[in-house]
Amino acid sequence: MRIEPIIRLWQALRFRNWRIAIKIAALLLSIALLTAAAITLFITQRSAQALSDQMRVQLQSMALGAARVFTGDLDFTIKEFGENQSTLLSALADFLAEPQAESADIFESALAFYQTYTIVKAVFIVDREGTIVAATDSALREQRSEQPYVQRALAGDIALTAPRPDADSFFATVTLALPLRTQDAVQGALVITFRLDSFDFLLRDTLLIQQGEGTARVLRHARLYAVNAEGLVFFDSDAERAWQYSALGTPSPTTLAAYSAPEALGLLCAAENWDGLKTCPSESVQRRTALQVLPGMQPIADLARQVAESPSRGSTRYCRPEDLSSAPALGDACNGAWYLVGYAPVQTPLNGAVWLTLFAEVPEAAILEAVAEQRASGLAIAMLIVPLVIVAALLLGRTFARPIRRLSAVALAVEQGYSLDERTIAQIAERGDELGDLSRIFGNMVHALNARSEELRTIYQIGTRISSSLELRETLEFVITSLRQVIPYDWCEISLYEADRREIVPQVAADHDSLESATPRPISAMQGYLSYLITQGRGLYVPRISAFEGALWLTGRSWDTLQPQSYLGVPLKARDQLIGVIEMVGAQAGQLNADHLRVLESVAVQAAVALQNAQQVQVREAKLRQEIQELRIEIDETKKARQVAAITETEYFQQLQSRVTQLRKRAKRAADPSETQD
């Protein structure tokens, strides 16, 4: 039995080898069937448990989200009072370190500034000894503060107290102590007591947002409240604020003593008295006469204490008695209703300590109501979803597969060496989906590859030609004309660098269609864009000259009549030696771009080596010509010496020289007869 047909059949049946239309149809149909099966299973077997688990997660998420909002708002407030006012705090520290005549006025101004914040209740400043030197409450001045948070601030730490009821409002307050330090030491502290107005509103807004989600029917029964480690409720989303400043479970004697006086419990405002600005008219404000204790909420009080001791978040289920003044039932029995509750700690941004524990709860009965509704709707959806998915799968498969086949055919043609089918690419690119993006990217990629191939071909031709040329002028002209093929410049100029004078000398120039004569007038290399090219040692691309601030535009160049708008320049360097520069300009902004810079830098590397070789050849030729000239002079002098020696050594010259000597003696005797007698 041959195994090849079986292998081919197996390969054809593999999902990865299916046609896209078949894949989409099979995938959507599978999703539809699985969804229908899951819905049926959910409705018939695990609906209540699944919704309960989902609600636990959502309640935990709600509590965590509200806790994070609390923490973020608290962190913002601390930064607003401290870090964002660092200049003011530094000034206060300086005046505390070295008191001056105007110190009191400065302190009063600082107090007045912080009182502009509507949430600020009181502010005072203490010196390094703990003595209050300025306060919004004049009765506190000149007193010594021994509060722990003040002492912590004087020790150099930012201190934040736990929330506590405000005797003058229905919002909780906290106190923030900020150290006032100079470079040498802590000079005092700024203490700010502010109300947590926004926390109450954030709690209610969080609940309203969650009630707008898909489980809104269940969350209409939800409640958010914040509890401290002692079991005291500080924020309650209930419309009546029934638990505000109530003690959950059985409070400790310390807690009872701390809140025994009515003035320690803050104020209350009935829900019907709130106006549109979330304020309560003064005549509607009431004060609790005694601490309300709710023993039936002991499970929540225990959980709040556990979270305070070991920060954690999660969810649980507890029984709430009908009568909260009675103790909760033990075990699995419930003398009231079961509630699902999610919880998360509100941790201070200073040291991560648990400030409050935020609870989000909903009665379990509300979930069971939702289960009954979902059972009926789930069955109806399961009946309709399968035929709809089949139709959708056929339409989607055809929609996706057709442009992919066309794009594949275009790619195959390009692979075989044919030109790009621009029309097909444009038609597919008109789509606004990923296939349209793929078509545009593929077309751009082919164009970019073709352009890059043309660039590489031109660079190769330039490199081959200039590497074989040893004539400087010929090399310069070939480089500048070859660059026209890949860079659309309006004017190009190549200059050589004179290192001893730090000048460049233009050698050759060209416009977009012909070579032009370049005036070999030296130009200082330390001005304008030239300075950037030479000092930085890399190319410079300026798409818009008028907007470029990296270097000044230098006038007086050969291209001034063009009124250039864009610029491109690269240094010519070989073996870390600057040979010269290539500069280009365009009459339009953006005419020269970063791709042109890349091409020019590639050509410049080869051109620099070729120009350096040509310069070295010129130098060697000049030196050789000088040596030949010197050799000629030396040969001429040697030849003359030999000719003179040949003449003086002849017999005729010797006779002639003897004759001259005799004539000289006769002439001397004739001039002096006494010599003859001798």
pLDDT band at 678 (very low <50, low <70, confident <90, very high): very low
3-state secondary structure of 283: helix
Task: Give the residue among 214, 238, 344, 359 at the shortest CA–CA distance from 297.
Answer: 359
3-state secondary structure of 67: helix
* Residue recorded with tokens 């806790």: 67
**Which residues 6+ apart lie within 8 Å of 490 measured at CB?**
511, 512, 559, 562, 564, 585, 586, 587, 591
Kindly tell me if the per-residue pLDDT of 194 is higher than 80.
yes
| Average pLDDT value for residue range 465-470 | 64
Residue 227: how many CB atoms within 10 A of its CB? 29
Percent of the chain's residues with pLDDT above 90: 9
Half-sphere exposure of 372 (CA within 13 A, CB side): 5
CA-CA-CA-CA torsion sign (554, 557, 563, 564)? negative
Rounded to whole angstroms, the Cα distance separating 597 from 590 reads: 12
User: What six digits make up the tokens of 49?
Assistant: 């448990």
CA-CA-CA-CA torsion sign (521, 522, 524, 530)? positive
pLDDT band at 344 (very low <50, low <70, confident <90, very high): very high
Rounded to whole angstroms, the Cα distance separating 612 from 476 reads: 11
pLDDT band at 418 (very low <50, low <70, confident <90, very high): confident
Residues making up the chain, counted from first to last: 678
Winning range, highest mean pLDDT, from 101-110, 137-146, 201-210: 101-110
Task: Give the residue among 469, 526, 506 at the shortest CA–CA distance from 583.
Answer: 506
Question: What pLDDT digit, counting tens, does each position of 115-137 carry?
Answer: 888 888 889 999 888 888 888 87
Task: Give the residue among 52, 119, 133 at the shortest CA–CA distance from 81.
Answer: 119
Provide the residue type at 443 as one letter: G
Kindly tell me if the per-residue pLDDT of 213 is higher than 60.
no
* Across 356-360, 372-376, 588-592, least confident range: 372-376
Which strand (E) or helix (H) includes residue 7? helix 4-13
| Average pLDDT value for residue range 359-370 | 82
Q: Please list, residue by residue across 248-287, b when 16 or more beta carbons sit within 10 angstroms of its beta carbon and e when fewer do.
A: bbebeeebeeebeeeebbbbbbeeeeeeeeeebeeeebee
Going along 312-401, which residue ranges are E strands? 314-321, 336-347, 354-363
User: What six digits make up the tokens of 670?
Assistant: 């004739």
Kindly tell me if the per-residue pLDDT of 525 is higher than 80.
yes
Quote the pLDDT of residue 584: 93
3-state secondary structure of 485: helix
Half-sphere exposure of 457 (CA within 13 A, CB side): 8
* Across 385-399, 420-434, 538-552, least confident range: 385-399
Rounded to whole angstroms, the Cα distance separating 354 from 309 reads: 8
Q: Are 554 and 495 in contact (CB under 8 A)?
A: no
Q: How far is CA 582 from CA 33, 358, 533, 546, 649, in A?
A: 69, 70, 10, 21, 67
In the chain, what are the domains? 50-271+285-381 (3.30.450.20), 472-673 (3.30.450.40)
* Stated pTM of the model: 0.49
CA-CA-CA-CA torsion sign (68, 73, 74, 76)? positive
Winning range, highest mean pLDDT, from 44-53, 75-84, 460-469, 660-669: 75-84
Residue 464: how many CB atoms within 10 A of its CB? 10
